[in-house]
Amino acid sequence: MKNADGISAPRHPDAALERMPRFLRLTASRLASRSRWFGIVYRIFVYCLLIDLSFVFLYPFIYMITTSLKTPPDLLNFTIKWIPTSMAWQNYAYGIVGLKYWDHFYNSATTSLLSVVGQVLACSFVAYGFARIKFPGREALFMLAMFTLIIPPQTVIIPLFIQYKAMGWMDTFAPIVVPAFFANGLRGALFIFIFRQLFRNLPRELEDAARVDGCGSFRVYWRIILPLTTPAIVVTVLLSLVWHWNDFFEPNIYLTSEDKYTLPMMLPRLYQSLNETSATHGMETFGLPTVMAATFLVVAPLLLVYLFLQKYFIQGVERTGLVE
């Protein structure tokens, strides 16, 4: 069909279908209906699978929250599984006192934040050399650095302990913090890889223009390249903070004075003391709500940080090449 200007008007999308024989139209309609129902069933299956998998990960957290709010009668009542009859908020007050929360919060924050700063600066600097500077053996050294990812820290803890003891670093934060400023620490090789992947995607024209203006290699890294790596910095900050905050193994090896313990190190002591106190009164399980409340208090700062950085963390993971 043509309009007044003699130009063919666009055909209706169903015009071709209407010209088809009736049995072909029925067949096409049935196939479309089956495809639509298959898509709905597939989507329902995927959602059910995701809900089941998420529950596996959320179950310990839900159990921790509900148990932390239970009273002693709720613990003895086997019919109460998830929802307490009354909210025992005093368990959190007991947890704060039992953990000596604010004193050991300072220790955890000090070791974690200093380690985060060290790994951001050192790992980005090392990654810049691997990504942008050509030198003999560069790829071999990079592969050697990545090889350290598969070495468990337990296998090297004895020589490290001997070395740090000879240096007079025992019972200080130095064995935990100082390695981070040398691109080591907890999973430092992973952060080198993250920064290197992002550096390799940056255009070299930025460096060439800076060198024309008289910038040296370090100034190019510090003034031009590093400010462009916000996604990698966010990923490194969040992962490094979580791993250093939750670390129990290395602080338990190097720290011997209780006043220097981190929050995760205080949880076993709290659990032991509550068990001993409860056992003397014949109430072995009554300390469990306080322990669960204390556990939530330990992880609460990480949850708050993640809530603020979640958007930037997801963007950083996508841009740094950790996922395709």
* 16 is a domain residue: no
Cβ neighbours around 155 below 10 Å, total: 8
Cβ neighbours around 161 below 10 Å, total: 16
Q: Which of 28-32, 68-72, 90-94, 136-140 has the lowest mean pLDDT?
A: 28-32
Same domain, 35 and 134: no
User: How far, in Å, CA of 136 to CA of 279, rounded?
Assistant: 65
Phi then psi dihedrals of residue 3, to 5 deg: -90, -170
| 191-205 pLDDT tens trace | 999 999 888 888 888
* 106 is a domain residue: yes
Q: How many domains does the chain contain in total?
A: 2
Residue 308 maps to which CATH number?
1.10.3720.10
Same domain, 113 and 253: yes
Judge whether residue 28 has pLDDT over 90: no
* 279 is a domain residue: yes
* 126 is a domain residue: yes
CA distances from 24 to 21, 30, 57, 111, 239 (A): 5, 10, 49, 72, 58
Same domain, 115 and 262: yes
Judge whether residue 159 has pLDDT over 70: yes
Same domain, 48 and 109: no
* 195 is a domain residue: yes
pLDDT (0 to 100) of residue 148: 87
* 315 is a domain residue: yes
Residue 272 domain boundaries: 95-319
Burial bucket for residue 188 (CB in 10 Å: 0-12, 13-18, 19+): buried
Same domain, 155 and 41: no
pLDDT (0 to 100) of residue 125: 92
3 state SS of 229: coil
Same domain, 223 and 288: yes
Judge whether residue 241 has pLDDT over 90: yes
| 76-107 pLDDT tens trace | 777 777 788 888 888 899 889 988 999 999 99
The mean per-residue pLDDT over the stretch 261-290 comes to 77
* 76 is a domain residue: no
Same domain, 32 and 156: no
Same domain, 266 and 165: yes
Same domain, 262 and 144: yes
Same domain, 58 and 154: no
Same domain, 169 and 311: yes
Same domain, 177 and 36: no
